Structure 1
Amino acid sequence: MRTDISNWMPLSVSEINKVFSGIPLRWMIAGGWALDLHLCKQTREHSDIDIIITRDEQLIAYQYLKRDWVLYKAENGKLELWEDEEYLNSTNDIWVSKSNETPWAFQIMIIDTDENFWIYKRDTSVRRPIDEIFLRTDEGIPYLRPEIQLLYKAGGSQVREKDHYDFQTMLPSLLPQEKAWLKSSLNRQFSEGHTWLKFL
């Protein structure tokens, strides 16, 4: 078990692309970097880097990554080794480093799907076709669509300062249909209202 949760030296976007482009699975960059890739510029410092994979392809990711990386499952505030052939039914986050002592290099977020649909874990009525939840940069790097990434940022127990900053930075570039989808999804999850709705 590791407890050094602040010990980060994240890979760059291009380094992540090199790691994952050779693995036969669907993957995409998420988090603040996904928004910056959409805007084609870096808007703030990023302390980590997140990659999304689907739950049904987790063991493919594990078999390829274990050759060069050590993988830890994050559950109940603890980071414990992800064992070989262990299928994760409910774990959503994997932290990855080169060894047991080196800084964290990237985080994998496991998403659930139902047939060909992505499912939003905080409100399973919010879904999108899996092939429609990502876009690609001019270099072909896949990243989570901005309106879906903003839903993840808005949907936590509290909106962090950096998440509100990301929302305000992204807002002028959101297309009308992206704003409409985000507004509808927030209304579904937060029947009592959400602070971002007045901007949408």
Structure 2
Amino acid sequence: MIDENETVPTQGPWAPQAPQEVARLLAGADFPWWIAGGFAIELAVGEPYREHGDLDVLMLHRNQEKVRRFFGEWDLFMADPPGAGTLRPWPPGGVLPARVHDVWCRRGPDEPWSVQLMFDEADGEEWVSRRDARVRRPLAQLGRVTSTGVPYLSPEVQLFYKAKNVREKDQLDFDRMLPRLDATERAWLVGALELVLPGHDWLGRLRR
């Protein structure tokens, strides 16, 4: 029986699945999902260019019951304090609190973590940023699909999330993606950054 008060440290081992493997895993899911994180930028760029320590999949918080049922007996843990750097079980039938946006997934307790679920909000047919509800996007425009049918988060939206605390890998993702952003995508990212992170270092390059 799962102890819902159990905690585990947010440490490896990680063996992230590839986007194509996740697409096969989620085939037939009755809820929308998008590859997110660095893999989303890599899919938009169209070629691999760096290593990835995990794999993020964006889902909508309002679909949490469907998501939990779909993952069945998988070992799912939510990044939900009290303890910083720890995870708590998300058992079948359990409720994902509104404050939780990050769930680590593995097939069993002796298996490595392989998928990280990121939960965002929605208002009707609009995606709403969990960081600032003023930043929105029609759900129909939230993602793209590769030629092989893998849905992924639109790169300008992913770059908005990466902009808050820019690490070396985030800067690399921005540098690789910037020449490929069209005028509409640049304008959306500029608007979102001006609203939430005015004065961000990326704004000057985006406006050129």
Considering the TM-score relative to the shorter chain, is it more than 0.5? yes
Matches within 5 A, 1:98-177: 98-155=107-164, 158-177=165-184
- Does 70-79 or 135-144 show the bigger shift? 70-79
What secondary structure does 2:35 align onto? strand
Q: Contact (CA 8 Å) 2:14, 2:54: kept in 1 or not?
A: yes
> By how many angstroms is 1:96 displaced?
0.2
Give a deviation string over 1:43-70, Cα, whole Å, max 9, x none.
Answer: 1111110101111111111111123x21
Q: Counterpart in 2 of 1:73?
A: 78
Provide the aligned C-alpha RMSD in A. Answer: 1.2
Q: Counterpart in 2 of 1:17?
A: 23
> By how many angstroms is 1:113 displaced?
0.5
Distance in 2 (alpha carbons) for counterparts of 1:175 and 1:59: 36
Q: Contact (CA 8 Å) 2:36, 2:58: kept in 1 or not?
A: yes
Gaps (5+ residues) in structure 1? none
Q: Counterpart in 2 of 1:28?
A: 34
> By how many angstroms is 1:170 displaced?
0.6
Matched, 1:85 2:90: no
What secondary structure does 1:101 align onto? coil
Matched, 1:62 2:71: no
> By how many angstroms is 1:5 displaced?
1.6
Give the partner amino acid of 2:152.
Y
Gaps (5+ residues) in structure 2? 1-6
Distance in 1 (alpha carbons) for counterparts of 2:170 and 2:42: 13
Q: After TM superposition, where is structure 1 displaced by more than 3 Å over at least 4 residues in a row?
A: none
How many residues get paired?
196
Distance in 1 (alpha carbons) for counterparts of 2:11 and 2:120: 22
Give the partner amino acid of 1:154.
A
Q: Counterpart in 1 of 2:3?
A: none
Q: Counterpart in 1 of 2:48?
A: 42
Distance in 1 (alpha carbons) for counterparts of 2:69 and 2:132: 31
Give the partner amino acid of 1:171.
L
Give a deviation string over 1:117-138, Cα, whole Å, max 9, x none.
Answer: 1011222111011111000000
TM-score (norm 1): 0.94
Give a deviation string over 1:153-176, Cα, whole Å, max 9, x none.
Answer: 002xx2111101110111111101
What secondary structure does 1:75 align onto? coil
TM-score (norm 2): 0.91
Q: Counterpart in 1 of 2:186?
A: 179
Distance in 1 (alpha carbons) for counterparts of 2:129 and 2:61: 13
> By how many angstroms is 1:183 displaced?
0.7
Distance in 2 (alpha carbons) for counterparts of 1:39 and 1:165: 12
Matched, 1:95 2:104: yes
Distance in 2 (alpha carbons) for counterparts of 1:82 and 1:46: 25
Q: Contact (CA 8 Å) 2:23, 2:150: kept in 1 or not?
A: yes
